[in-house]
Structure 1
Amino acid sequence: MLYFRDKLVGSQAHMRELNTQFTRVAIGMAWKLGNLHPGVVPDGTCPDQRHYIYGDGTVVKPPSDVRVVTDPVTGERIPLHSRATSATTARVVKTLTDTRADGKEQLRGLNMVGVYTWTDAGRLVLGTRVALGAEQWAALELIEEVYRFAKDGMHGVIWDRVITGWLVDYLMATMRLQTVGKPVANSRDDSSEIDDKIALKAAAHHTQLDTHTKVAIRYHVLADMVTASDRLPLGTSIYPKSNRRDFDLVHSEFRELDPIVHHTPEGECAHRLAVDDGGMFEIADHDELAHSVKVTYLPCMANTHHQRPDGLWTSKLEYLIPCPHGDLVYSYLWEPQPHRYQPGDAGARTPEDPVGWRLRPLCRADDIGEAYNNRLPLNTPAERKFTAFFSRRNDSESHNAWVKRSYPHKRAASYSAEAQELDFLLAGLVNNSRTWHIAFPIGT
């Protein structure tokens, strides 16, 4: 068995064909289980998980931590963390992922990447790859491979921050694939302003601040920021976490758009708009501070696609702007660029349209829009549209954790990168067999 494995992984052509056949069969299984069927018109405002794939990467620890280093005194090559007496006999893992490319320098191993779809019977693994550099390249290769078989039965991709910028443009322009994810943003450390508010609220309630009480009071301070009449400034977003007893304070990217002006019996009426963290907001200047604030969240009410004569796709997003003189519809036409970059390409990779790729028909603000607009507490029970859909990505982490638990000591079972890739692919085969058995028990 080991001889067969070594012969298989020793041929790049055979491994490519194996990966292709795995994806081909997995897509057939998905069709049989009701997913990725062609001929369905996508709706970005209310996406259907049966037409989406989701993915993630996980760094698997190498089988050992043996390393060969140069003795600074003798200049001799010596093994560390090994019982071997020389560098030539030590078993050393020779290929590792450059985790610095994704800002994960603290991890050591190979980044195994998978894509999945969720069926009524459970998860189906659609393909796997190993990422030796940035995860985005392995992710893109997998998405393209799945689309090659699924075609228009595939409506989009759920991924966390790996699919961003030009990749969002490329997927929409060439394949009509909508990216559902969190736009690149950073969780913010509490600023001095927030610390001051925490101190004031603690004093108002005659509370001595310590580590635990600060966390509790911070929750109320952030909740007050959302329901306050002052509104949140552009570039600051607050979302309730899943436990609803804490908030995610986000430093979000924003872009102000040209104002929308319409004529009324009283004269011109102007509406200032901005895209912040993927959502559309009507904004206004703050009465006292030198920044603009988000007055009203505008959910996307329609999202349609059009294929141009050259085969490329465009996306139109429509928003209803409330106005005392009569509500009006605002449309934004996103014409993404089809350029596919390659690793090592020089020059800027910034999309030509800085708004289109950031603007999402389903975004994090959909979780809080009703509460924000009506100045209700953010933990008010409501439909978490974005979280309910995006959290499907968490299932890929569950699969990765299951695979790691099946390895000896949660480390890779093989030394070569090719053999580790095969191990990860075979774990997907086991998963798909289990899902198929749930859908079609023996004897049915």
Structure 2
Amino acid sequence: MKRNLFILLTGITLIFSCKKDNGDWKKAAENPEFLRRTQLQVTESIIHDIFPPPVSSRIYMYASLAAYEAAIAGNPKYQSMVGQLKGLKKVYQLDTNKKICNGLAATRAFLTIGKNLTFAQEVYVDFEKKMWEEYKATGIPDDIYQNSIAFGDSVAASIMNYSKKDNYKQTRGFRYTVTNKPGTWIPTPPAYMDAVEPNWTKIRPLTLDTSAQFPPIAPSKFDLTKGSQYYQEVMDCYNVGKNLTDEQRNIANFWDCNPFKMNITGHAMFATKKVSPGGHWMGITTQVSRQLKTDLAQTAEAYLMTSMAVFDGFISCWTEKYRTVRIRPESIINANIDKDWQPVLQTPPFPEYTSGHSVISAAASVALSRTLGANVAFNDSTEIPYGLPVRKFTSFKQAAQEASISRLYGGIHFRPALDNGFAQGERVGGWIVGKIKTRK
């Protein structure tokens, strides 16, 4: 009797062991929620380190590229970015004799790039420990766990090598020289900071033929004569700012996305740190992919397309900013119209034309519309940590249009920088989705 019971129990154990080895762990371990949580954690590090918007876009892009390459390894439906992106000639290849968990490898790759390109390593310690413990708790076999970690690290190393040739290091340490030529950018209150990333046009694009491939319509001639086109644009911004509705003010604050707002109270100065424009769109990608229940490969694909659109969008925009070097509304209005006028938002430290948020939001909306759907309604909770409520949108394009007009409501751009910037961003986004093939 005891012998029969022993045989029965042994048989049951073997059945469950075999079932586990045959993939019971896979559904849990391949859950894209691990990757989504990692994206949000890297965002926390970016916020902590106060990276300016273009630099933040670079971090998101390389992390997303690494995650994508790891996520699609061995998947016959997707294709690598090797040969499609400028200068990307190879990425570490999967050893087909070794079984991996793509979800673990992709998460590891994203996190590894994030850690390599940010400074605040302490923000990752508890998160990383918990992440690997949760993966092991799925029941993933030890050999597959180790193979996946090693593969994710190797892919990340390939992408880090790729990143070292994008001219980022060569553009560090340069400062923009203010010319004081009428109509050109000058530092703005309250911190009067130096212009941010004046050499970003020299960063290697991912897909663009050149950084100036999609120039916007030329801005209006600087002319403060009453009745001139430029004067009308100045007065438009001034009057909108003086007569904002509560809803317009809410829109301005929701899309502020200023990584470094300087607050001055008496003799005390302190900074408020927030998510960047690119980080906001990566957050939207996280929320909508979760809403649509996308699988691992689809989620990694969405991150890749969004981050590429934002990255090349910033290069296109910054090329125009430092070509025209246009003065900000606050500077021109205070000097010529009303010395006491203040914008709702703090003016960011770089030239006015075109609007960065307009360009990258339009580009991201095109990429997301192609990847996740053109008419996806969603609730955006990105700004909840900053005390702002959820906003609802009927599509990515509607969200992008609201992000664009928010800069006029905020008093930091003239209307042409928004309209022409949005068109510029749509062209960048359209170029990317037409050029890049993620599916076979």
TM category (shorter chain) comes to under 0.3
> TM-score normalised to the size of structure 2?
0.25
More helix per residue = 2
> TM-score normalised to the size of structure 1?
0.25
- Kindly name which structure, 1 or 2, has the bigger radius of gyration based on alpha carbons: 1
